[in-house]
């Protein structure tokens, strides 16, 4: 899962803007690129992860098999070491057989056969929102249209207590649309809970009956209200009936299964640094996925990329000065839980972190990297990506983002690099039943392997780290300079930052 919000800011750390040393030898970059573009087990690895293992929700046998896949794939790629690091997700969750049917009444001329009031019903294709509570079967519950779900919309709708509310959405076309989908939901849920609605039905943001899975809980907790995503065509049908004055009722059953804490694992492989082994670069992607599809674009392709980048570096013969850690994070879809756990457990050594690189947007062409608000790293980073111009990777954006596994490292003051990618076919298939192996653009993915491997090597080979670890006060100043406070509040992170639960403490 990656959501994007660009937040531009001035170079408040100008003292560092030109301090970093020159990048690694271009010949080494070319060796790595050549090795990355050679035939490799990339396709076979992803086939195993998606077609055979399938969707990977923490706490399921599939996720356990995926962790084993990661261990074996890293070993086969030539890692110097491979291990797992455990953490806990507060609750387990799985969907039962969610069922929803709608009915309405309309009038037929009494002089015709069957005239008078006629009842009709139709199946509503629906899936539960992830980590939402179960709903025992209910019958003939009124459906109320609350439009976009604003406070004014709720007021106009009147009493929704005990009713199913229908929430409109915008068809997903851009990264900003995806970001808005995540930030819009929590205020709607707040209003629905306050108004004592029975359940929330969000119209799908995809057309053609495509269903998908999201969660609106922030850290693996069970949400406050039963919720479903309904096929857009079915949702719009109900909305048209209601707008025309017809009453609409629904039968709804959401037999979700929930349990206690889940033991989950990140998979960590290393190429040991030759000169500064205690300093390290991280190249990461998340291994978990939702299970309606097989998690190919989000994010199996990039889990396979991380493995293949290790293989490419080893095959090139290039030996990095610093250690490179290749990490497959788990629990990303439940609120970046695995990467948060890793950043927290390794906090004492983050002064030695030389950069974190994350890929999490399918196989759309990489245009550049977002650097987590760090204008101080731009000068050197521009030279580091120069060998990638052959792939049209040229842009560096001093943005701060939320929604993928760089986030907690950014809040800890570590330089981060998130791949900016074209949408390609990612958005329509995001978290969806259609997120499958056949959607992956393998020629493009091979280029991404080269990009990730080169940036990892070059960060690892700089004589001095590309930038310092920022202090708590510098990070917060950056948040305020970039208006990131509002973003963090919308995403439910700000209180954790203020309380010290999340981010650097000094």
List of long-range contacts for 45-48, beta carbons under 8 Å, 24+ apart: 45/69, 45/73, 45/304, 45/307, 45/308, 46/296, 46/300, 46/301, 46/304, 46/437, 46/440, 47/437
CA neighbor of 221 nearest in space, from 76, 124, 91: 91
Angle at 414 between CA 360 and CA 368, to 5 degrees: 40
Q: How many residues does the chain have?
A: 506
pLDDT 10s digits, 4-13: 433 333 333 3
What gap in Å lies between CA 220 and CA 329, rounded to an integer? 15
Query: How far is residue 297 from each of residues 2, 21, 371, 424, 480, measured CA to CA in Å?
Result: 11, 36, 23, 11, 34
Q: Looking at residue 118, what is its pLDDT?
A: 67
Q: pLDDT by residue (tens digit) across 216-243?
A: 988 899 999 999 999 999 999 999 999 9
Residues of the chain with pLDDT under 50: 3-24
Short-list 466, 347, 356, 477, CA closest to 412? 347
Nearest to 84 by CA among 102, 105, 63: 63
Token pair of 483, please? 């208006």
For the record, the structure tokens of 292 come out as 């309606």
The predicted pLDDT at position 1 comes to: 62
What is the Cα–Cα distance from 487 to 441, expressed in whole angstroms? 32
The residues, any chain, with a CB within 8 Å of residue 194's CB and separated by 6 or more, are: none
Does this model's pTM top 0.85?
A: yes
pLDDT the model gives residue 490: 77
> Do the Cβ atoms of 28 and 461 come closer than 8 Å?
yes
pLDDT of residue 20: 42
Q: Which helix (H) or strand (E) holds 42?
A: helix 42-47
482 beta partners? none
């Amino acid at each position: 899962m990656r959501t994007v919000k660009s937040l531009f800011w001035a170079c408040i750390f100008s003292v560092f803007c030109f301090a970093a040393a020159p990048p690694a030898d271009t010949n080494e970059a070319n060796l790595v690129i050549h090795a990355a573009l050679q035939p490799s087990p990339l396709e076979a690895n992803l086939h195993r992860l998606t077609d055979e293992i399938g969707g990977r929700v923490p706490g399921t046998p599939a996720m356990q098999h995926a962790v084993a896949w990661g261990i074996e794939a890293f070993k086969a790629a030539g890692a110097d070491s491979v291990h797992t690091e455990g953490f806990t997700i507060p609750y387990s969750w799985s969907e039962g057989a969610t069922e929803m049917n709608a009915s309405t009444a309309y009038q037929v001329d009494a002089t015709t056969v069957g005239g008078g009031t006629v009842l009709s019903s139709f199946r509503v294709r629906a899936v539960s929102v992830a980590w939402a509570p179960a709903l025992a079967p209910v019958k003939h519950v009124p459906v109320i249209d609350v439009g976009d779900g604003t406070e004014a919309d709720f007021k106009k709708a009147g009493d929704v207590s005990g009713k199913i509310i229908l929430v409109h959405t915008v068809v997903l076309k851009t990264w900003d649309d995806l970001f808005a989908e995540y930030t819009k939901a929590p205020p709607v849920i707040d209003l629905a809970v306050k108004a004592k609605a029975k359940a929330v039905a969000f119209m799908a943001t995809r057309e053609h009956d495509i269903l998908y899975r999201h969660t609106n809980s922030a850290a693996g907790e069970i949400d406050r209200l039963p919720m479903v995503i309904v096929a857009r065509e079915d949702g719009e049908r109900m909305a048209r009936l209601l707008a025309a004055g017809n009453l609409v009722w629904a039968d709804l059953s959401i037999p979700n299964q929930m349990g206690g804490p889940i033991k989950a694992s990140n998979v960590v492989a290393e190429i040991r640094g030759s000169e500064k082994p205690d300093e390290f670069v991280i190249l990461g992607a998340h291994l978990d996925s939702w299970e309606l599809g097989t998690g190919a674009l989000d994010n199996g392709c990039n889990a396979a990329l991380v493995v293949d980048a290790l293989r490419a570096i080893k095959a090139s013969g290039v030996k990095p000065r610093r250690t490179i850690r290749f990490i497959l994070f788990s629990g990303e879809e439940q609120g970046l839980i695995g990467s948060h756990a890793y950043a927290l457990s390794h906090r004492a050594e983050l002064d030695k972190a030389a950069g974190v690189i994350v890929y999490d947007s399918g196989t759309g062409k990489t245009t550049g990297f977002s650097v987590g608000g760090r204008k101080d790293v731009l000068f050197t980073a521009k030279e580091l990506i120069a060998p990638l111009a052959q792939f049209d990777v040229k842009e560096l954006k001093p943005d701060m983002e939320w929604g993928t596994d760089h986030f907690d490292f950014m809040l800890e003051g570590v330089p981060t690099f998130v791949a900016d990618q074209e949408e390609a076919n990612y958005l329509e298939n995001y978290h969806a039943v259609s997120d499958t192996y056949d959607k992956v653009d393998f020629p493009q993915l091979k280029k991404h392997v080269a990009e990730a491997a080169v940036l990892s090597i070059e960060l690892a080979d700089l004589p001095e780290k590309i930038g310092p670890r920022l202090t708590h006060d510098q990070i917060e100043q950056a948040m305020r300079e970039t208006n990131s406070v509002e973003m963090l509040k919308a995403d439910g992170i700000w209180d954790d930052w203020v309380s010290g639960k999340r981010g650097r403490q000094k």
